[in-house]
Amino acid sequence: MSHTGRTTGSAKRTLRQSLLAARDALTADDVRAAAGALARRALELPELARAHTVAAYVSVGTEPGTLALLDALLARDVRVLLPALLPDNDLDWGAYGGEGSLARVQHGGRMALFEPAGERLGPDAVTSADVVLLPGLAVDTRGLRLGRGGGSYDRVLARLERAGADPALVVLLYDSEVVGHVPGEPHDRPVQAVVTPSGVRRFTGGGTTPGA
């Protein structure tokens, strides 16, 4: 690894630690209130209004809550795909059919995840999505997303690119997680928008524009 790569990795780790500490300080009421607002804001997105298939995920712990949004999409007859973590950190996918369709899965010493309990559709299923809702810890003014560092969504984004798929990429965050700068690498692919409890910000060629 080059000196630049090591420096970027170290800066990402430091930023992750700070952001995770802030999330850990949130109460259950904070998380619940934010989840409701996040769902309302996300449902205003034209991309979601037009979508037939949305790849999403089930939030855990103090992550910005997604269940209210998943149920609202399901009520619109949107096909919702949810990830299942594979041993190599890649993601398989399955269809969401309501909260009863989820299984709590413990992956080693990590936090337990809620994954689709039904049929697995394969890692390439994500290429059929019109919108991909991405987890993250931060996004900056260029639209660069900071993930948790496991690399699962880097693989998803690479798979989309190889397939020539071009879904809208949207990250779901708390308001304080829209930051000035995220340490970036050449392969990082910017998102089109971030949804927070207070609104939507879109990214266009290195800057941001407000609005839904």
User: What are the DSSP calls for 66-114, one per residue?
Assistant: -HHHHHHHHHTT-EEEEEEE-TTS-EEEEE--SGGGEEEE--TTS--EE
Phi first, then psi: what are they for 10, rounded to 5°?
-65, -40
Q: Check whether 111 has a pLDDT greater than 80.
A: no
pLDDT of residue 212: 36
45-60: string of b/e by CB count within 10 Å (b at 16+)? bebbeebebbbbbbbe
Query: Between residues 147 and 80, which one has the greater pLDDT?
Result: 80
pLDDT of residue 57: 96
pLDDT digits (tens, 9 = 90+) for 52-68: 999 999 999 999 999 99
What is the pLDDT averaged over residues 189-206? 87
pLDDT of residue 206: 42
> Chain-wide mean pLDDT for the chain?
89
Q: List the domains of the chain with CATH numbers.
A: 3-210 (3.40.50.10420)
pLDDT of residue 204: 75
Query: Between residues 43 and 149, which one has the greater pLDDT?
Result: 43
pLDDT digits (tens, 9 = 90+) for 117-132: 989 999 999 999 999 9
